[in-house]
Amino acid sequence: MSRKFQIGVMGSAADLKYAKEVEAAAYEVGKYVAKMGGILFFGAEKDSDSLSTAACRGAKDAGGLTVGITYGKGKGVWEKDADIIIPCGLERGGGRETVLVTGCDAVIAISGGSGTLTELAIAYQADIPMVALKGYGGWADKLADEYIDSRERQLTMGASSPKEAVKKAFNAAADYRRKYA
């Protein structure tokens, strides 16, 4: 039996005031990750809700396993039902995001501000597949079906629905595993 795919979900924190339909899409992404047998990795926030934590709730409601990577010390995070919390001892702004992203076989971005952009740039540099759920604004919309730079290392694959985003992430994760074992 092979190891389960580790799928990261990255997206806006609540201070970006995303709409309920964006939160519902993130929840659906998490649900589909769990239904397909993946482990959902997310940025575990300490002080607010986020699209990543909405994905965690979706995965948990579908019976999935969730792993939250949080900044600093301590395991006190917003999403109390996460299965595993890993405090990385690093702060936001690159440190925590690097630990989160490099733990994934593929990442899915939904909307997103500067943290999501950082996570996508890290995935790009690490050659980790990226999927962007289109139609909800933020960096996901800006980078969908685009390369981050002219090196064209890894296309940020656009997806039009939560289900399509998860299917693309799982297919890309399988390719990533074959490449990097």
Q: What is the pLDDT of residues 153-170, one digit of tens each?
A: 999 999 999 999 999 999
Lowest mean pLDDT among 10-19, 26-35, 99-108: 10-19
Number of independent structural domains in the chain: 1
Q: Is residue 143 part of a domain?
A: yes
Q: Is residue 1 part of a domain?
A: no
Residue 90 above 60 pLDDT? yes
Beta-bridge partner residues of 39 = 6, 65
Cα(76)–Cα(112) distance, integer angstroms: 23
Measure CA 118 to chain center.
Answer: 12
Length of the chain: 181
Helix (H, G, I), strand (E, B) or coil at 162: helix
Q: Is residue 170 part of a domain?
A: yes
Helix (H, G, I), strand (E, B) or coil at 140: helix
State the average pLDDT for the chain. Answer: 95
Q: What is the mean pLDDT of residues 57-85?
A: 94
Range of the domain at 118: 6-180
We report the CATH number of the domain holding residue 61 as 3.40.50.450
For the chain, the helix, strand and coil percentages under 3-state DSSP, each to the nearest 5: 40, 20, 35
Res 1: pLDDT: 57
Residue 44 above 90 pLDDT? yes
